[in-house]
Structure 1
Amino acid sequence: MSHPREIAPGATYMITRRVLRRHLLFRPDAAISQLLVYALVVSARRFGIEVHAFCAMSTHLHLVVTDVNGVLPRFLQFFHRIVALGTKVLRAWEGPVWDHEATSVVRLLTRAAVVEKVAYVLANPVAAGLVRHACEWPGAKVDVSELGCGVLRAARPVAYLDPENPQWPEEVSLPLALPPAVAQDGVDDFRHEVAAELNVREAQAHSALQQQGRRFLGAERVSKISPYERVTSSEALGERNPTFAVGRDQGDVRRIAGTAVRAFRASYRAALERWRAGVRSVVFPAGTWWMCTFHGASARDFGLTV
């Protein structure tokens, strides 16, 4: 059983979802990029999600978003469903699209964490040895220069989505929002910080590939690989799946956040035990989502919020 997760309105997250068995179903081409951007824009607009950064790798998706209304599970369910069904049509794919592991959802608690994770998302194609610089990635993505000011745009894909259904407009757009941790007058500083972090990550990737005697695959070759192939390199198993991130050099913030997470889980489980015993008047901690949404349970702030 997974740990209960606090869903707090206004929280910012890095989200990662992987393709089944590391198949290259999201190999960058015009059709899959159109589907991914369209699905993201429609889903974000439907649930009031602010998108800050995005990178579609061949085997997984990375997002940095803010859940303004505290409906992140609804957004993820809708977005991932559209992507999966559209991909099955585009790739003539039978069976599941998504990996059986749960979506990775990491709450970003500080500005430093936002800067580091946005840079991580943008640097992913470089870290994977695919292109020398993030801007060269041919797949759907956000560039540093677009942070807080760019616009995601896409026409409705021909495959899967019914043009007669009003929930699928012919064209959609979504301005890229500035993360809440960044003041409106600090957008230039934010971009510079992300660019600096991105440069560090790219330099590390260059050094690592050189030491391994490998070369970057290049955008052209990446785009020509069959989407039905799989990544065959070894992948570490049993790695930690963090709940939150605070960034480097943040003093006691990590300890305080960890204490808050443990307190939320303990309070939730105590309330759930009473609920299972038939006590319907029990109050869950604020941020409880599933029990409140599907069972009508009550929740209140006990000062446990991260």
Structure 2
Amino acid sequence: MELHAAQMLSTHLHEVLTDVRGVLPAFKRDRNRLVANALKAHRGWPEEVFQRASDSCVELHGAEAVLKEIGYTLANVVEAGLVEDPDDWPGVTVSVNDIGQRVIEVERPSVYFDPNNPNWPERVTIPITMPPALIEAFGARAKEVLVSSVREAIASARAAARSAGRFVKTSAAKLCRIPFTRRSNSPNPFRSRNPSFATGGNAEMAKKARAERKQFHELYRRALDALKKGVAGVCFPPGTWRWARELLPGWLLGVTTISLEASCIPQKRAS
């Protein structure tokens, strides 16, 4: 998994990443489980950390979509009125200057993770990489274009927050001292749209993405119908995950084929 941008607020996480191995569902499952268990051990929470509802996972088609989503991700704390600049956010965040350059080194938490378990090394590194779509589209100018796009997104978010009177009347440092037991009382959107892909306003790319999604559903339905009829050697289309990895009975795994090549897995944003 290649990480390009991330920002964590008190109630949710935004991240832009590229799934180079076709394992995004397993990555999110394991990451969320480990974070939740460690947080519960640290805080003494007895119940769930992440809500049971599915998250928003948007497939990004083209450089325009990648630029827009990275800008949205990094400007989120500004749009919420928490800080004037995302670099001032004391929580987890990536600076636009980090992308393509920084390698974050993280020490193993002192809680939950067994230091004697070889699966949990003392330190791990996380490179913050430049999205392949930007390198392909802009070459050596990728960083310059990205920085300009993110700055525009931050300026727009700042103006929107000021216009709406959302900026808090205290510093981010003081916000961090608010007891974690105090619940957020800000409204959350209910039944809002949850798109499956984004193209950054590129109409031609959107048309192509819709056609690809339609083709996937058609191929999936054909494969599922064939499987129900007892046809051997059924091939599900690239991108199929939960049905084959989690729901199929073991005896059926031998008569199905799942194509999950990394080349078939475009960049995704999860939040």
TM-score by length of 2: 0.85
**1:254 matches 2:215:** no
2:116 maps to amino acid: E
**1:285 matches 2:237:** yes
In the aligned structure 1, how far is the partner of 2:265 from the partner of 2:119? 35
The aligned residue for residue 241 of structure 1 is 194
In the aligned structure 2, how far is the partner of 1:184 from the partner of 1:175? 19
The aligned residue for residue 210 of structure 1 is 162
The aligned residue for residue 218 of structure 2 is 266
In the aligned structure 1, how far is the partner of 2:231 from the partner of 2:27? 31
The aligned residue for residue 183 of structure 2 is 230
> Cα gap change, 1:251/1:209 in structure 2, threshold over 3 Å: closer, same or farther?
closer
**1:175 matches 2:122:** no
> Cα gap change, 1:191/1:230 in structure 2, threshold over 3 Å: closer, same or farther?
farther
Report deviation, 1:146: 0.7
The aligned residue for residue 34 of structure 2 is 82
> Cα gap change, 1:187/1:177 in structure 2, threshold over 3 Å: closer, same or farther?
farther
The aligned residue for residue 18 of structure 2 is 66
2:8/2:14 contact within 8 Å kept: yes
In the aligned structure 1, how far is the partner of 2:225 from the partner of 2:35? 37
**1:298 matches 2:257:** yes
Partner SS, residue 173 of structure 1: strand
The aligned residue for residue 50 of structure 1 is 2
Structure 2, unmatched stretches of 5+, are 267-271
In the aligned structure 2, how far is the partner of 1:131 from the partner of 1:187? 32
**1:138 matches 2:90:** yes
Give aligned pairs, total.
Answer: 255
User: How much is the aligned-residue C-alpha RMSD, in angstroms?
Assistant: 2.4
> Cα gap change, 1:100/1:186 in structure 2, threshold over 3 Å: closer, same or farther?
same
Report deviation, 1:62: 1.3
Q: Out of 50-59 and 283-292, give the one that drifted further.
A: 283-292
> Cα gap change, 1:254/1:92 in structure 2, threshold over 3 Å: closer, same or farther?
same
The aligned residue for residue 57 of structure 2 is 105
1:245 maps to amino acid: A
Report deviation, 1:277: 3.1
**1:161 matches 2:113:** yes
The aligned residue for residue 91 of structure 1 is 43
2:141 maps to amino acid: D
**1:220 matches 2:176:** no
**1:119 matches 2:71:** yes
In the aligned structure 2, how far is the partner of 1:264 from the partner of 1:125? 36
In the aligned structure 1, how far is the partner of 2:194 from the partner of 2:41? 31
1:70 maps to amino acid: G
Report deviation, 1:115: 1.1
> Cα gap change, 1:215/1:281 in structure 2, threshold over 3 Å: closer, same or farther?
closer
Structure 1, unmatched stretches of 5+, are 1-48
Report deviation, 1:103: 2.0
